[in-house]
Amino acid sequence: MMQISHDAHCNKHSLINVMHRFIAAANNMDETIMVPSLLRDVPLEEQEKHGDAALPAKQRDMYEHYLLLKSLKNDMEWGLLKREMSGGASFLEMAVKQQQEEHQQSLPPEDVSALEDQFHYHLRGLFGVLSKLTVQADHLTNRYKREIGGGSLIR
């Protein structure tokens, strides 16, 4: 079993730390949002005003965004194997399979330098995505608190 050094947990720039922050934000979101169905038909306009283009256009309301963040957290905690066994395919899974197919065709196995470059490229991307997802989970949680406090979500 691989041991993770204590230094990795202390380094705020480590992948493990970024993953833990996202999972903590998603757990906080899940614990705060007691009635997710209240998020239905509530637009993400507040986030759009801030110019966040990271959200896919098909996500029209806070409920869909909540489900996406929760699904991504589950994929991180349980891996893609659980989803494969249940027959579903996540966006992450499809992207991984596509990347594997592309790189198997174009990258000779002995090219260690290219593998290192590929690793660092994807690591930077993972850091960026996890950081954005953490901000979005925090934003959704805070927005839910404001909306519930103001009573505007209750029909």
pLDDT over 70 (residue 15):
yes
- 5 vs 25: which has the higher pLDDT: 25
Quote the CA–CA distance of 66 and 69 in Å, as a whole number.
5
Please, what is the average pLDDT of the chain?
Answer: 77
Quote the CA–CA distance of 83 and 103 in Å, as a whole number.
23
Query: What per-residue confidence (pLDDT) applies to 66?
Result: 94
The per-residue pLDDT for range 93-120, each reduced to its tens digit, is 555 566 566 556 655 555 777 888 898 9
Neighbours of 38 (CB within 10 A): 17
For residue 41, what are its two tokens?
A: 């038909």
pTM (whole model) above 0.85: no
Quote the CA–CA distance of 96 and 110 in Å, as a whole number.
21
- 86 vs 36: which has the higher pLDDT: 36
Q: Domain residue spans in the chain?
A: 6-150
pLDDT over 70 (residue 43):
yes
Quote the CA–CA distance of 90 and 121 in Å, as a whole number.
21
pLDDT over 90 (residue 82):
no
- The mean per-residue pLDDT over the stretch 18-32 comes to 96
Quote the CA–CA distance of 120 and 11 in Å, as a whole number.
18
